Amino acid sequence: MSLYGGFTVAEPVWSVDPRTGKPRERVAVEATAEQVDDAVRAAAAALPALAERSVRSRLLRGAAGLLEEAAADVVAVADAETALGTPRLTGELARTAFQLRAFADVVDEGAFLDVTIDHADPDAKPIPRPDLRRYKIPLGVVAVYSASNFPLAFSVPGGDTASALAAGCPVVVKAHPDHPATSELCAGLLRRAAEEAGLPADTVVLVHGFQAGVELVRHPLVAAAGFTGSIPGGRALYDAAAARPRPIPFYGELGSLNPVVVTPAAAAERAERIGTGLAASFTLGNGQFCTKPGLVLTPSGPDGDRLVEALTSAASAAGPGVLLDSRMRDSFLKGAAARAELPGVTAPVEAGDAGELSVRPGFLTVQAADLAAEGAGDLLLEECFGPLTVVVRYGGEAERDAVLDRLPGNLTATVHLSEREAEAGDGPAAALLGRLTAVAGRVLVNGWPTGVAVAPAQHHGGPYPATTSTFTSVGATAIERWLRPVVHQDTPPALLPPELRDDNPLGLPRRVDGVAQVAAASA
Amino acid sequence: MSLYGGFTVAEPVWSVDPRTGKPRERVAVEATAEQVDDAVRAAAAALPALAERSVRSRLLRGAAGLLEEAAADVVAVADAETALGTPRLTGELARTAFQLRAFADVVDEGAFLDVTIDHADPDAKPIPRPDLRRYKIPLGVVAVYSASNFPLAFSVPGGDTASALAAGCPVVVKAHPDHPATSELCAGLLRRAAEEAGLPADTVVLVHGFQAGVELVRHPLVAAAGFTGSIPGGRALYDAAAARPRPIPFYGELGSLNPVVVTPAAAAERAERIGTGLAASFTLGNGQFCTKPGLVLTPSGPDGDRLVEALTSAASAAGPGVLLDSRMRDSFLKGAAARAELPGVTAPVEAGDAGELSVRPGFLTVQAADLAAEGAGDLLLEECFGPLTVVVRYGGEAERDAVLDRLPGNLTATVHLSEREAEAGDGPAAALLGRLTAVAGRVLVNGWPTGVAVAPAQHHGGPYPATTSTFTSVGATAIERWLRPVVHQDTPPALLPPELRDDNPLGLPRRVDGVAQVAAASA
């Protein structure tokens, strides 16, 4: 919104082609405070209709189907707005549909309700115990802040929306300005899926605009928020959520270095394979992954040199690419240049401007000793979003650990071990794994962190700033963010919700008098 | 701490007898910033020793035993400092020991680890899936802020400490100034239990002083905090936790009105019993319970009148009592007087000064119409800590619901139904239960909220300001506050923690490839 002589003029929202920098089409206008209020109230009105689990599951499966039906259109629009390419976006759409159905399965199973029943015990010590029956209920309207780098999987139809709907929460999504047309298209599909499932279309509402996002997190009827983005933006919204008269949980994913450690034995065994694998991982999607390996501890000496040589070849061969928008491009070029100029830093492959709005991937090297103390090297411990990684050469465990001790929290941490180290079990490899566990939410051995499987055991989160909470935004347990427990005490059977009745009419897995019960019969 | 001419002089901490207002003994000195730092570092050094579950379980059972052995001393000191009386404190000690053992059981069972294993699936759609194995690990040093009103169960050896130790987190407790001697005694027992379990004594460290509490929540090595107390104090610490460079979860229980609704049919059926029960509940422990029923919606008309008459008799007969400290006494007397002076408010039994540092319980009545809109009646919707409750007379469902719609979040909400309403199931009673569920974490039928059973299904928490999170501070799931998930991806079997191995050497309950498994064998 801008003010001209006292009149409020709605700011237009343009879809922009990052390959040309030219506006594609005018998609919408930024929401005013009143429009945000309308959006939240409309979503709040949909809350009761979501109470039935079966309708949520229908909505999620319906949305997955509609997304697949519209795949050609959605991928074309998303590619035009993000330059991420058709193959990647086709894969992302498949993953997004899979994720919607995975949450439908979670809803159908009902384990997330965490049903726990303790029957009354008049003989309990130290005092008689009443009848207590607990389960989880939806928190209310959820605000979802879309990510720039995943226009589908972490945006309008993505994991935050899917898990919130699975929990029974209506969603107001704040579109990312990098893909407003894709956002409108996907919101339309979700709203159609809602109506086809017998729900109000306003079960999912879309708003555009920076200020609208701020209004959203402050709205009294918003009960929780999910966010994927940068540290400054995420922290500002986190602070706003915490400063409300009634604070709300803000589940933000803000940034991650994703450290990798290559042991001397691993480098001795397969330096070239690791160097090549690293190049593929840090340049994937033009380095625009939250899980991009951004700091790679590589041993000093000839084996590490071989790794760096392989990395140099592979990174040099990687073609230039267009970043998501011009602001990110500028920020990447400035960030890469500032890091390259630090004392002790060299750039075997220099990241930089490749002309025609594209950038060239590159990597830096630095000695561990230059990073061990606070000071000039600090910038190297901050994420640089885009196709850049930093190889840190270390001389021994002490140097390696001094760097690890300085790391902020991460989504992932990876170690490359030799075959013998992997088989040997306890000892230095186990100790190293312990150190990595302390600074990350996902710890990988002999792999690359880019790519986050949607699975029950997944955890996509980590110590701050990786996430602002201990929860995950990917995988079955992402639903836990949007629920709160309620216990019913001494409630007459006729008034109990069906989830809490002794005869378990919904066939839910539950814990009764301390004993876990697998579902008696599927609902 | 105070500053005299540049010198820092440690402020003494006195144990005070609330029955006389006289100091009993000098117990300790307030911790300086340096001493808080020492305390946190000492606790942090104990973290690795707590990694084994068996040692935590030994610690918790040992602490329960030592507390019971020292019961006579502990109860005598606690009574001298709090005036809560021997019977109540004896019961609280039994409950505290029970709670310590209940968390030892939780540790031994291991379900809280939430072990989830998804084996690799190269054929998974839309993309091959790696091997993923998740469980939960301790967050780190936990800061515990003791409550005034439960010198044992919500203080040094209470639920926050017990659940944090169960999770594997060392604890720094900030003593409440109302019971510093009890705190020292209990901290000594816990530290002895730690040493007897083979742990460092500094697994539990005690600090005194308001400023020390502020330093504690800001300390970089403190990973989470638990708090039971007032809204102003809790909110200030919550804000400090959120404002840190690396924010931490602050699990605060801040205040609750604990509304009660009596239906016309229930009043018709048993007005006298409800009135008498209410008097017993709101005066229990001199009204110094977080779950004291503070707002009672009672029907207009003769049945409601009978309830108020019975309440009048019973409340008049309730003897005076000494509150926890003089500050609370002043605050109670002022709060009760200010509420009694509001327009439309009457005081059938006037709460007030009963001489000799004690106060008389009382209650107020007001018409629902005077509370339906924002304005003069707002103060009646704020908790008044101490033996005071507010009876709100309502003429019908619309008046009742208008008041319920204005309530802030609560720990509990209670409804008194007639026998017929309780048996009838769906309809108005179910709708009313739904309304109460929206504003509370525990919903009771035909009971009183004072008294919180320690049980797996318990939930002691609710929408803000009842708690600052969606978690409970009582019951088995209180342990969830001090853990974070970590997933291991493609980790070689020899390097997996035993909790995540295929052969399940610890006999843990877990979820494997989406299927819940009860423990194969107990460890």
Q: What is the pLDDT of residues B289-313, one digit of tens each?
A: 999 999 999 999 999 999 999 999 9
ipTM computed for the complex: 0.96
Task: Say yes or no: B47 and B194 in one domain.
Answer: yes
Residues pairing with B262 in the sheet: B416
**Pairwise CB contact (< 8 Å): A455 & B490:** no
Task: Say yes or no: B404 and B306 in one domain.
Answer: yes
Does A68 map to a domain? yes
Nearest alpha carbon to residue B421 among B269, B268, B262, B265: B265
Q: Give me the DSSP letters along B413-463.
A: EEEE--HHHHHH-TTHHHHHHHHHHHTEEEEEESS-S-----STT-----T
Task: Say yes or no: B277 and B200 in one domain.
Answer: no
CA distance A168 to A180: 26
Task: Say yes or no: A177 and A98 in one domain.
Answer: yes
Question: Which residues neighbour A334 within 8 Å (Cβ) at sequence distance 6 or greater?
Answer: none
The residue in chain A having the minimum alpha-carbon distance to the alpha carbon of residue B456 is A514
Nearest alpha carbon to residue A108 among A165, A169, A160, A56: A56
Residues pairing with A435 in the sheet: none
Task: Say yes or no: A220 and A94 in one domain.
Answer: yes
Q: What is the pTM of this model?
A: 0.96
CA distance A241 to B328: 31
For residue A5, the model assigns a pLDDT of 46
**Pairwise CB contact (< 8 Å): B409 & A477:** no
Distance of CA B105 to the CA centre of its chain: 20
Q: Are B1 and B9 in contact (CB under 8 A)?
A: yes
Q: What is the pLDDT of residues B352-370, one digit of tens each?
A: 999 989 999 999 999 999 9
Peptide bond into B465 cis (omega under 30): yes
Does B124 map to a domain? no
- Residues from chain A contacting residue B113 (CB–CB below 8 Å): none
Distance of CA B128 to the CA centre of its chain: 46
The residue in chain B having the minimum alpha-carbon distance to the alpha carbon of residue A500 is B457
Task: Say yes or no: B39 and B95 in one domain.
Answer: yes
For residue A9, the model assigns a pLDDT of 67
For residue A125, the model assigns a pLDDT of 80
Say how many domains are in chain A: 2
Task: Say yes or no: B344 and B378 in one domain.
Answer: yes
CA distance B173 to A285: 48
CA dist B419 to A314, A496, A519, B261, B305, Å?
Answer: 78, 15, 32, 15, 20
Of the partner residues A98, A132, A445, the one whose CB lies closest to the CB of residue B495: A445
For residue A2, the model assigns a pLDDT of 43
CA dihedral B509, B511, B512, B516 (to 10 degrees): 90
Residue B122: exposure state from Cβ atoms within 10 A (0-12, 13-18, ≥19):
exposed
- Residues from chain A contacting residue B127 (CB–CB below 8 Å): 91, 95, 451, 453
Does A505 map to a domain? no
**Pairwise CB contact (< 8 Å): B94 & A126:** yes
Average pLDDT of chain B, as a whole number: 95
For residue B8, the model assigns a pLDDT of 60
Q: What is the pLDDT of residues B125-182, one digit of tens each?
A: 888 999 999 999 999 999 999 999 999 999 999 999 999 999 999 999 999 999 999 9
The residue in chain B having the minimum alpha-carbon distance to the alpha carbon of residue A439 is B486
Q: Are strands B22-29 and B510-512 parallel, antiparallel or unpaired?
A: unpaired
CA distance A293 to B81: 57
> Which listed residue (B30, B92, B215, B253) is catalytic?
B253
Does A349 map to a domain? yes
Beta strands in B35-120 (DSSP E): 116-118
Count how many residues are written for chain B.
523
Task: Say yes or no: B227 and B351 in one domain.
Answer: no
Task: Say yes or no: A161 and A233 in one domain.
Answer: yes
**Pairwise CB contact (< 8 Å): A495 & B133:** no
Task: Say yes or no: B90 and B218 in one domain.
Answer: yes
CA distance B160 to A425: 36
Is B384 considered catalytic here? no
Does B372 map to a domain? yes
**Which residue is listed with tokens 């207002």?**
B21
For residue B231, what is the enclosing H or E element? helix B231-243
**Which residue is listed with tokens 């320690």?**
B454
Q: What is the CATH classification number for the domain harbouring A286?
A: 3.40.309.10
- Residues from chain B contacting residue A442 (CB–CB below 8 Å): 486-489
Does A278 map to a domain? yes
Task: Say yes or no: A75 and A185 in one domain.
Answer: yes
Does B492 map to a domain? no
Question: Chunked in runs of 10, what are the mean pLDDT values of chain A (523 residues)?
Answer: 52 96 96 97 98 97 98 98 97 98 97 97 90 98 98 98 98 98 98 98 98 97 97 97 98 97 98 98 96 98 98 96 95 97 96 94 96 82 97 97 96 97 89 96 97 95 97 97 98 96 96 84 41
Confidence of residue B9 (pLDDT cuts 50, 70, 90): low
Quote the domain boundaries for residue B39: 31-106+138-254+472-481
Peptide bond into A23 cis (omega under 30): no
For residue B3, the model assigns a pLDDT of 45
What percentage of chain A reaches a pLDDT higher than 90? 93
Does A70 map to a domain? yes
**Pairwise CB contact (< 8 Å): B424 & A494:** yes
Q: What is the pLDDT of residues A217-233, one digit of tens each?
A: 999 999 999 999 999 99
For residue A519, the model assigns a pLDDT of 63
pLDDT above 50: residue B5: no
Q: What is the CATH classification number for the domain harbouring B209?
A: 3.40.605.10
A contact test, residue of B251, B381, B439, B459 with most A CBs within 10 A? B459
- Residues from chain A contacting residue B126 (CB–CB below 8 Å): 91, 94-95, 98
Nearest alpha carbon to residue B336 among B373, B291, B389, B300: B389
Task: Say yes or no: B101 and B207 in one domain.
Answer: yes
CA distance A181 to B459: 44
- Residues from chain B contacting residue A247 (CB–CB below 8 Å): 238, 242, 464, 468
Is B290 considered catalytic here? yes
Q: What is the pLDDT of residues B187-199, one digit of tens each?
A: 999 999 999 999 9
**Pairwise CB contact (< 8 Å): B457 & A134:** yes
For residue A214, the model assigns a pLDDT of 97
